[in-house]
């Protein structure tokens, strides 16, 4: 008998994967770009206010306020945590403009430059699982808040491994709420023709596992690649049924 938290074709019909930190090693790149953007802004703000500069903390601020959220929501969330408020602006604001959208666009410029220079690294364990479940006949999807999702999949040469991509651009077109709301995962399952109870959500972000739990999915998997106890505990507390450091534990594939 299969372990209760394994993925088998008898139990499930689809697996929905987050992108950054699950399929690709871009989460750490995103975190570094968020830090660079916010630190530049916070230094300017400290000079304006004649206050102490407190830098963006990747270890605490990134998972709490930014990770897994749509870009502009991440900006708003972090600024609110610091007691700061900027005009929202518009999505076509230039990156130097002091608006929520301007800061988000500055971060996006930074991540695009890094990806263009360094390419995209994938996680072998994740691709092993994607190929395994597809061989069993399960459907696969990428569900990501990133508006760069399509470009990242193409750069990593893994676009063809997925039946569906539902990313930040598509979510905006469909007016879907971002994670932790379950809307994007539910829309992906609907487009695949699979009920949530027969689908697996695999996420590394706290808001991602929250979204999977809120959507009533059959299995919500948290990915804690650094194998830190506090990270795993936080994922469980936010809705993960199981937390793994290696996704191959879910299928028994090497």
Helix, strand or coil, per DSSP, at residue 142: strand
Please identify which of the residues 20, 61, 67, 204 carries the catalytic annotation.
20
Residues 6 or more apart from 202 whose CB is under 8 A from it? 15, 16, 17, 18, 22, 126, 221, 223, 247
Q: Give yes or no: 18 in active site.
A: yes
C-beta of residue 78 within 8 angstroms of C-beta of residue 61: yes
Rounded CA gap, 34 and 28, in Å? 10
Please give the structure tokens belonging to residue 179. Answer: 């994670």
Q: Give yes or no: 183 in active site.
A: no
Q: Would you call 175 exposed, middle or buried from its count of C-beta atoms within 10 A (0-12, 13-18, 19+)?
A: exposed
Encode burial over 202-222: b for 16+ CB neighbours within 10 A, e otherwise. bbbbbbbbbbbbbbebbbbbb
C-beta of residue 116 within 8 angstroms of C-beta of residue 33: no
Please identify which of the residues 18, 125, 167, 241 carries the catalytic annotation.
18
CA distances 104 to 60, 134, 149, 183, Å, are 19, 35, 16, 22
- Nearest to 145, CA basis, from 118, 176, 100, 115: 176
Catalytic residues: 18, 20
């Amino acid at each position: 008998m299969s372990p209760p938290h394994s993925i088998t074709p008898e139990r499930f019909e689809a697996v929905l994967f987050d992108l950054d930190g699950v399929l690709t090693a871009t989460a750490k790149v995103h975190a570094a770009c968020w830090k660079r953007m916010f630190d530049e802004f916070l230094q300017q703000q400290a000079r304006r206010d004649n206050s102490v500069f407190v830098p963006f903390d990747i270890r605490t601020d990134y998972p709490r306020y930014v990770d897994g959220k749509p870009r502009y929501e991440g900006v708003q969330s972090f600024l609110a945590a610091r007691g700061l408020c900027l005009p929202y602006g518009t999505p076509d604001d230039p990156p130097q403009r002091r608006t929520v959208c301007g800061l988000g666009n500055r971060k996006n410029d930074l991540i695009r430059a890094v990806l263009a220079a360094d390419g995209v690294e994938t996680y072998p364990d994740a691709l092993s699982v994607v190929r395994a479940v597809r061989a069993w006949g399960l459907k696969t999807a990428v569900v990501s808040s990133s508006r760069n999702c399509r470009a990242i999949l193409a750069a990593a040469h893994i676009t063809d491994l997925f039946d569906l991509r539902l990313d930040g651009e598509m979510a905006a077109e469909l007016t879907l709420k971002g994670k932790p709301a379950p809307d994007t995962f539910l829309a992906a399952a609907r487009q695949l023709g699979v009920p949530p109870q027969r689908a697996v959500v695999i996420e590394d972000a706290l808001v991602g596992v929250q979204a999977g739990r809120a959507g009533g999915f059959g299995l919500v998997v948290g990915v804690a690649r650094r194998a830190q106890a506090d990270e795993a505990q936080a994922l469980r507390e936010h809705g993960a049924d199981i937390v793994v450091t290696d996704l191959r534990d879910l299928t028994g594939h090497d």
